[in-house]
Amino acid sequence: MTQAFVAIGANLGDAVASVRIAMAQLDMIPRTRVTARSSLYRTAPFEASGPDFINAVVAVDTGLAPEAFLDALQRLEKHAGRERPFHHAPRTLDLDLLCHGDTVLTSPRLTLPHPRMGERAFVLMPLAEIAPDRVAPEELAAVAGQSITRI
């Protein structure tokens, strides 16, 4: 089993319910078990438009390879009605694989660790809540000006 972290976000429909449902559905992915869930956070869209986002981070242990786990995440997004009409479009559900063990990977489909996670308070704050050893104080300081509220 490999420890992985998934960022969850939604800003269309009942975003709070969408994030909570996604947290439960992650536990139903074959060979995957949720081991920690952050609080929910409200954030203004970052490099995007639309209503505020509800965000969280979940830790899982998974027996799936990174690409297979990404496939499972994208199936959950599709089931939740995720559409991709343009880059950074508002979304019913967004699941980002932040890291998968110590895997370092760059492919057309997947980059690990996630290349922009250190720039986003909506990732770092909930990640620090459930895995404080994964987030350096200087990373949190760098995103301190971004609007984020624990709910």
- Active-site residues: which are they? 82, 91, 94, 96
- Chain-centroid distance of CA 42 in Å reads 14
Q: At what angle do helices 15-26 and 66-79 cross, to 10 degrees?
A: 140
Return the exposure string of 57-71: e unless at least 16 CB atoms fall within 10 Å of the residue's CB, then b.
Answer: bbbbebebebeebbe
Q: Which long-range contacts (CB under 8 A, 24 or more apart) does 104-112 make?
A: 105/66, 107/67, 109/67, 109/70, 110/66, 110/67, 110/70, 112/66
Both tokens assigned to 111: 């980059």
Both tokens assigned to 63: 């027996």
Q: Is 46 helix (H, G, I), strand (E, B) or coil?
A: coil
